[in-house]
Amino acid sequence: MNCPEVEILLCDYFDGTLPHPQGIALEEHLAVCSACAELARDVEGATAFLDVVPVADPPAELLTRILHQAPRGAQKSEERAPWWRRLFGGWVENVLQPRYAMGMAMTVLSLAMLARFAHIEPRPLHASDLDPARVWQSIDDHSHRVWDRAMKYYDNLRLVIEIQSRLKEWSDQEQTAGVSGAASQQTTGGQGSEKTSGTAPPRQTPVQTNDKR
Amino acid sequence: MATVAIPAGRWTWVAPHLQARTGDRLDADAQLVERCLSGQDAAWEELVKLHSRRVYSICYRFTSSDAEAQDLTQEVFLRVFKNLKSFRSGEGLFVVWLTRLTRNLLIDHYRRTRLERATESLEDQAPALEENTAMMSRTEGMLAGREASELLQSALQKLSPDLRETVILRDLEELEYREIAQVLNVPEGTVKSRLNRGRAELARVLRRHKVRI
């Protein structure tokens, strides 16, 4: 018998389930192997110590907490889900919660109040309003009207007007400067001088220069 | 949170003297599980009452914290409520299935909290052990149950998780070697070897703190 075998067989030896011949062999090994003898002493001592350790009982409130989470009746997973949950998935459940329903009701109420203050008179709905062609025409008409209003509003903004007028001023100034530069070049060229005029604008677009040439 | 994988149990030969006990437990637990799945509320309560002490005890001995043990026990039973259908009574004992679930959660918890434990100062734990040691040296006779329990908690934390869980499952929860092998998914010889190494290590830790064993 070797040391690794002893390490395993010690369990059965202390349990009293080790067959007699193996027990004798183990005791003979312990008598000659000090390391295994020490192991056996430690194992025996620890087992004796563990015997006096009481059971760790859970607090009573833990039992109550666990039972509170226990399923009621048949397990939910076994129940067949309703058709709307199978069709739309779990998000419908969230939408149908009372808080969302209350939120939607408050939104409708707020919009109704705003419409009343803005003097928007609700018109009763007729069957002819549901005609697809008419619905499309109405959507198209409304979308164009909204677009036109948005563009008009944008154009009438003070900031936009100022920016546009400033851009126009710059453009006019550049054009004017281009014309005067070309004129002065022609004047100096006529006098036979190769020097460029000191009054020429520092930024002159090549396009404009070419045009003037 | 990481998922708990429950591998299919591997079954080994059962000693004749254990067959009657195993058969009784198998039948009783299998019937209880059947009743739970059929939707009997009383069965859930019985299941929790019957097994919560074991689960809590394993968690408490492993973590050495009452709060953590309570949380983990609650989590174990939540998983039991959800996954009870995956338990096959024909494949083994409910106790083994439950203990494996508990052990996997504990190992997840151990890995998750490793960093926190590493940052904890060792000096924080030392005074408690010193106090216990002083108390033990004063009492010349047999250790009182509660004192032994506290001392064991301190000593168990010095063991590696492998050795600690084996000692807990065998010496405190009194599972069979075969059952522990199924829970830990290791051969029975490995269980016995780890158990004796764990016991010996435990004895050395206790002796280092002047506990006579």
DSSP code of B120?
Answer: S
Distance CA B182, CA B167 (A): 15
Q: Does A39 touch chain B (CB under 8 A)?
A: yes
pLDDT in tens, A79-120: 566 676 677 766 776 777 788 888 999 999 999 999 888 887
**Structural domain spans, chain B:** 20-120, 121-213
Among A171-175, B56-60, B74-78, B205-209, the range scoring the smallest mean pLDDT is: B205-209
Q: Do B177 and A11 touch (CB under 8 A)?
A: yes
Chain A hits for B86, CB-CB cut-off 8 Å, are none
Q: Which of A11, A49, A69 sits opposite B81 (nearest CB)?
A: A69
CB B198 within 8 A of CB A47: no
* Nearest in space to B59 (alpha carbons), one of B153, B193, B178, B196: B153
Determine the residue among A12, A38, A49, A51 to mutate to test chain B binding: the one whose Cβ has the most chain B Cβ atoms within 10 Å: A49
| Residue A142 clears pLDDT 80, i.e. is over it | yes
Of the pLDDT bands very low, low, confident and very high (cuts 50, 70, 90), residue A131 is confident
Q: Is A202 helix (H, G, I), strand (E, B) or coil?
A: coil
- Report residue B92 as tokens: 């083994």
Region A142-158: what's the mean pLDDT? 90
- Report residue B201 as tokens: 């290590």
Q: Which residue has the tokens 């019957």?
A: B50
Q: Does B32 touch chain A (CB under 8 A)?
A: no
Region B140-150: what's the mean pLDDT? 65
| Residue B2 clears pLDDT 70, i.e. is over it | no
Mean pLDDT score across all residues of chain A: 79
Q: Which of A12, A38, A62 sits opposite B73 (nearest CB)?
A: A62
pLDDT at A123: 74
Give the percent of chain B with pLDDT over 90.
18
Q: Do B85 and A72 touch (CB under 8 A)?
A: no
pTM score, whole prediction: 0.56
**A101 phi and psi angles, rounded to 5 deg:** -60, -45
pLDDT at A184: 72
DSSP code of B86?
Answer: G
DSSP code of A161?
Answer: H
CB B87 within 8 A of CB B97: yes
Q: Do B192 and A10 touch (CB under 8 A)?
A: yes
Give the percent of chain A with pLDDT over 70.
76
pLDDT at B113: 81
**Structural domain spans, chain A:** 3-51, 159-212
pLDDT in tens, B5-25: 333 333 333 444 444 455 566
pLDDT at A81: 65
Of the pLDDT bands very low, low, confident and very high (cuts 50, 70, 90), residue A210 is very low
pLDDT at A144: 94
Q: Do B193 and A72 touch (CB under 8 A)?
A: no
pLDDT at A107: 94
| Residue A202 clears pLDDT 50, i.e. is over it | no
Among A77-91, B36-50, B163-177, the range scoring the smallest mean pLDDT is: A77-91
Mean pLDDT score across all residues of chain B: 77
Among A1-5, A157-161, B91-95, B127-131, the range scoring the smallest mean pLDDT is: B127-131
Region B103-129: what's the mean pLDDT? 69
Residue of B176 and B132 predicted with greater confidence = B176
Distance CA B86, CA B9 (A): 12
Chain A hits for B56, CB-CB cut-off 8 Å, are 56-58, 62
pLDDT at B16: 44
DSSP code of A159?
Answer: H
CB B211 within 8 A of CB A49: yes
Chain B hits for A72, CB-CB cut-off 8 Å, are 41
pLDDT at A193: 46
Q: Do B77 and A75 touch (CB under 8 A)?
A: no
Count of pairs with CB atoms under 8 A, one residue in A, one in B: 135
Q: Does A48 touch chain B (CB under 8 A)?
A: yes
CA distances from B27 to A19, A62, B21, B86, B176 (A): 31, 27, 10, 17, 18
* CA distance, residue B198 to nearest chain A CA (Å): 8
pLDDT at A117: 87
Comparing alpha-carbon positions, the chain A residue that sits nearest to B193 is A8
pLDDT in tens, A12-33: 888 888 888 888 888 889 889 8
Region B70-97: what's the mean pLDDT? 85
* Nearest in space to A205 (alpha carbons), one of A163, A168, A164, A177: A177
Q: Do B53 and A11 touch (CB under 8 A)?
A: no
Q: Which of A10, A50, A58 sits opposite B56 (nearest CB)?
A: A58
pLDDT at B195: 92
Decide if domain B121-213 falls under CATH 1.10.10.10. Answer: yes
CB B43 within 8 A of CB B94: no
pLDDT at A200: 45
Q: Which residue has the tokens 């637990």?
A: B29
pLDDT at B193: 92
* Nearest in space to B33 (alpha carbons), one of B44, B42, B23: B44
pLDDT at B17: 44
pLDDT at A130: 82
Q: Is A67 helix (H, G, I), strand (E, B) or coil?
A: helix
Q: Do A65 and B44 touch (CB under 8 A)?
A: no
pLDDT at B186: 92
- Report residue A99 as tokens: 């808080």
pLDDT at A148: 93
Region B71-81: what's the mean pLDDT? 90
H-only helix segments in chain B: 16-37, 41-63, 66-83, 94-112, 114-119, 122-138, 145-156, 161-167, 177-184, 188-208
Region A56-65: what's the mean pLDDT? 87
Q: Which of A4, A63, A74 sits opposite B52 (nearest CB)?
A: A63
Q: Does B149 touch chain A (CB under 8 A)?
A: yes
Of the pLDDT bands very low, low, confident and very high (cuts 50, 70, 90), residue A2 is confident
DSSP code of B195?
Answer: H
CATH no. for B20-120: 1.10.1740.10
Buried-exposed string B195-209: b where 16+ CB fall within 10 A, e elsewhere: bbbbbbbbbbbbeeb
* CA distance, residue B184 to nearest chain A CA (Å): 17
Domains B20-120 and B121-213 share a fold: no
| Residue B111 clears pLDDT 80, i.e. is over it | yes
